[in-house]
């Protein structure tokens, strides 16, 4: 397995650190590797998903460690490599992992995958025409927000590059920083990602419009899991009862799911597959 940088978050939040090596496939004691798609900063992911991590550890009687990756592409490679036992992923990557790498859908959030445009509070350019000549920031080009945004711009008659600049950044906090600059017109991200940002980070922004409503993100189980542990994981996920949600992905109650629940993002799944393949050929 190739050397990979990712976040190791143990039970003590103060010990958050980026590791230089991959999680071991053979572990000396029972443990569970929980991978989270990097839609927030590493530390924000640890804090946001700590209630779920603690719940799983108690329900399963296992040590649970939280991982993320430096990018959406690195996260997809980690799924392909089998670096996690359980992963939280957007619907198109969940579907890709199930179709190509043998992962099993276990649970989905009650929060749907709404892609929305967010602007600075007080900015009211008419949409979509108000984006012409402007700049929109999104996470990695294989993210669901980026794919849905490009699709919406095209269907609105706006050409990316010549009429609207589409810039790709690393995570939602990076989008917020970019949006504070006057040359950026809007950012596109999932409503659940927006809800997981700190309140003070959202105070100076406003959702402008929902540009796509898609299947909910959720949790998938590694093909390396035994049927017994997979079933126990699914049961523990469905029993997760966080304090409130407010549209947050990390604090959402969970529902049972199957691969059929993500059928509506099949086209985006293929685009993500193509994007990963093209990057792989360029790096070969």
Per-block average pLDDT, block size 10, for the chain (284 residues)?
35 31 44 94 91 96 95 95 97 98 97 90 86 94 94 94 92 87 93 84 90 96 96 97 79 95 97 84 38
Q: Which residues contact 4 (CB under 8 A, 6 or more apart)?
A: 21, 22, 69, 74, 77, 78, 81, 83
Q: How much is the pLDDT for 271?
A: 96
Q: How much is the pLDDT for 237?
A: 98
Q: How much is the pLDDT for 279?
A: 55
Q: How much is the pLDDT for 2?
A: 36
Q: How much is the pLDDT for 157?
A: 94
Q: Is the pTM of this model over 0.95?
A: no
Strand (E) positions, the chain?
A: 6-9, 17-19, 31-36, 63-68, 86-89, 104-109, 113-120, 135-139, 165-169, 186-190, 205-214, 218-221, 254-255
Under DSSP, the state recorded for 217 is P
Q: How much is the pLDDT for 127?
A: 87
Between CA 172 and CA 139 the distance in angstroms is 7
Q: How much is the pLDDT for 30?
A: 73
């Amino acid at each position: 397995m190739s050397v990979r940088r990712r976040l190791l978050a143990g039970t003590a939040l103060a010990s958050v650190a980026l590791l230089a090596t991959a999680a071991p496939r053979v572990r000396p004691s029972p443990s569970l590797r929980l991978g989270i798609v990097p839609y927030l900063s590493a530390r924000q992911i640890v804090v946001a998903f700590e209630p779920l991590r603690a719940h799983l550890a108690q329900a399963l009687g296992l040590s649970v460690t939280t991982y993320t990756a430096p990018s959406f592409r690195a996260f997809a490679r980690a799924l392909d490599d089998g670096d996690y036992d359980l992963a939280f992923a957007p619907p198109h990557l969940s579907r890709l992992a199930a179709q190509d790498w043998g992962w099993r859908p276990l649970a989905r959030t009650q929060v749907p995958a709404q892609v929305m445009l967010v602007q600075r509070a007080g900015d009211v350019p008419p949409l979509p025409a108000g984006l012409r000549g402007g700049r929109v920031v999104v996470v990695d080009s294989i993210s669901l927000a980026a794919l849905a945004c490009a699709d919406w711009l095209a269907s609105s008659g706006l050409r990316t590059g010549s009429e609207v600049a589409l810039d790709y950044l690393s995570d939602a906090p990076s989008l917020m920083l970019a949006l504070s600059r006057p040359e950026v017109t809007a950012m596109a991200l999932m409503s659940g990602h927006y809800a997981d940002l700190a309140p003070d980070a959202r105070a100076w922004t406003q959702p402008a419009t929902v540009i796509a409503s898609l299947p909910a993100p959720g949790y998938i189980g590694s093909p390396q899991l035994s049927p017994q542990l997979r079933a126990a994981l699914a049961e523990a996920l469905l029993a997760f009862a966080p304090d409130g949600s407010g549209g947050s992905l990390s604090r959402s109650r969970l529902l049972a799911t199957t691969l059929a629940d993500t059928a509506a993002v099949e086209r985006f799944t293929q685009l993500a597959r193509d994007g990963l393949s093209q990057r792989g050929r360029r790096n070969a």
